[in-house]
Structure 1
Amino acid sequence: MTLQQQATDSRLPDHAAADADISVLPRIFDEAINIAVFERALPADIALSAKAQCQTERAWQFGWLGEINEAFTEDLRRHLPAPEAGEALIEDIATVASAVAFLFETDTVGVRLRLLNSAMCPRFHCDNLAVRLVTTYVGPGSEWLPEHAVNRLGLGAPRADRPEVAADPHAVQCLECGDIALIKGSGWIGCEERGLVHRSPALAGGEKRLLLTIDPA
């Protein structure tokens, strides 16, 4: 069941918030919430711009730490595999990054855009940071576990004696391509033991994923 289907069925976990309106994102500040999802269908021009950046055999990534300004957009344009088709994607990334900076009252954000041809973090884990925005422009979205389906004794480096993190594998939730999610990690004050447990999705042979993550700094 997708996150959108679950929200429609009114069975979204108490620690999650999701809506088709961007106003849901500030709910990440609610003490009980550790994932807030703006359910967004990608506009056609952004989807086409993103797909154009995936027409390459090599995996690539772009990183930026600083303000979201003209220097940022120029640097991103220089690093795109198909900059001539990149304007819609660049504009969207700049808009999303600026929104993160505004929401968390900071001038500095860490932006990373990656083209992946394999799962980046295939094991369920919890980020050791306060909060991160994740969105997928091409390919499957991130997967996460409701709290009732998590065995936190399984978190950490894999060992023979560690139990599986997913106490109920059937409870795995999937973000949709285009969704914008804010997820709390163990670095969020008051959420040290309740950071969202999530993982990268498996990719089929030849499948690619264009992933954006943004961290307020």
Structure 2
Amino acid sequence: MLTHPSRDISQHWAFGQDIEVLPRIFEDDITLAVMERRLDPALALAVRAQLAGPRSLEWYWRGAPGQAMQSDLARRLPAPDAGAALLDDVATIAEAMAFLFDTETIGIRLRTLEGAMCPRFHVDNLAVRLVTTYAGPASEWLPEHAVNRAGLGAPHPDKPEIVADPDAIRQLAVGDLALLKGCGWVGNEERGLVHRSPQPAAGERRLLLALDPG
């Protein structure tokens, strides 16, 4: 399984270590734009603190990113006293998302997962979503040449396998900021990025952040 893809002439993804890679999602051919990053020590420590106890986290916000959002999230964190770096990171990402898509409203979900949320490869019907994994295995995705789109949708015995080349399955890294273009993006109706949630190991939990503009 490849973590970071090599280039080829038909690629529909953009990876980089600077935030300037994210606006490439507006390019017609790009369905995945990823800012590669590693969690800094303070953020990694804050994430571990949230996962240390038995209480799960399921937080949702829809509105403007700002102090009210941060205060609401702080009240929901399992370990709020150790969560400052995580609060700052979520706020920074939300503000960047609002700026990039010129909107005052962001839908944000931060949750812990002990199983695969969407274990089957699929496409999103929305326009675009940003995802980042703070802990646990990160999202898997398929380059277009490895997809049989006739297999997408509800499972049925007559449908072919979605994955045309199992060796082509690729995976994001913890910390990566990934913009996934869906079928709701005008002009991308038949080319939504095919992806899935990985299955955590026994006893492992994921901490996943997802943001939708508008």
Name the TM-score, length of structure 1 as normaliser.
Answer: 0.96
Question: For 1:193, what is the secondary structure of its paired residue?
Answer: coil
Say yes or no: does 1:104 pair with 2:104: no
Query: Partner amino acid for 1:124?
Result: F
C-alpha displacement of 1:69: 1.2
Structure 2 partner of 1:46: 43
Corresponding residue pairs, total: 214
Q: 1:39-60 CA deviation, whole Å, 9 max, x = no partner?
A: 0011111111011111233433
Structure 1 partner of 2:144: 147
Structure 2 partner of 1:215: 212
Structure 2 partner of 1:63: 60
- Aligned identity (percent) is 58
Q: Which deviates more, 51-60 or 91-100? A: 51-60
Query: Partner amino acid for 1:210?
Result: L
CA contact under 8 A between 2:129 and 2:212: conserved in structure 1? yes
Counterpart Cα distance in 1 of 2:105 and 2:211: 10
Say yes or no: does 1:181 pair with 2:178: yes
Counterpart Cα distance in 2 of 1:188 and 1:55: 38
Question: For 2:68, what is the secondary structure of its paired residue?
Answer: helix
Q: Gaps spanning 5+ residues in structure 1: where?
A: none
Query: Partner amino acid for 2:177?
Result: I
Q: 1:81-104 CA deviation, whole Å, 9 max, x = no partner?
A: 000000000000000010000000
Structure 1 partner of 2:91: 94
Query: Partner amino acid for 1:72?
Result: M
Name the TM-score, length of structure 2 as normaliser.
Answer: 0.97
Structure 1 partner of 2:130: 133
- 1:24 aligned to 5, 21, 25, which one? 21
- 2:120 aligned to 115, 119, 123, which one? 123
Counterpart Cα distance in 2 of 1:42 and 1:103: 22
CA contact under 8 A between 1:2 and 1:176: conserved in structure 2? no
Say yes or no: does 1:2 pair with 2:2: yes
Structure 2 partner of 1:77: 74
Query: Partner amino acid for 1:202?
Result: Q
Counterpart Cα distance in 2 of 1:108 and 1:162: 38
Counterpart Cα distance in 1 of 2:203 and 2:3: 25
Q: Gaps spanning 5+ residues in structure 2: where?
A: none
CA contact under 8 A between 2:141 and 2:193: conserved in structure 1? yes
CA contact under 8 A between 2:122 and 2:196: conserved in structure 1? yes
Query: Partner amino acid for 1:2?
Result: L
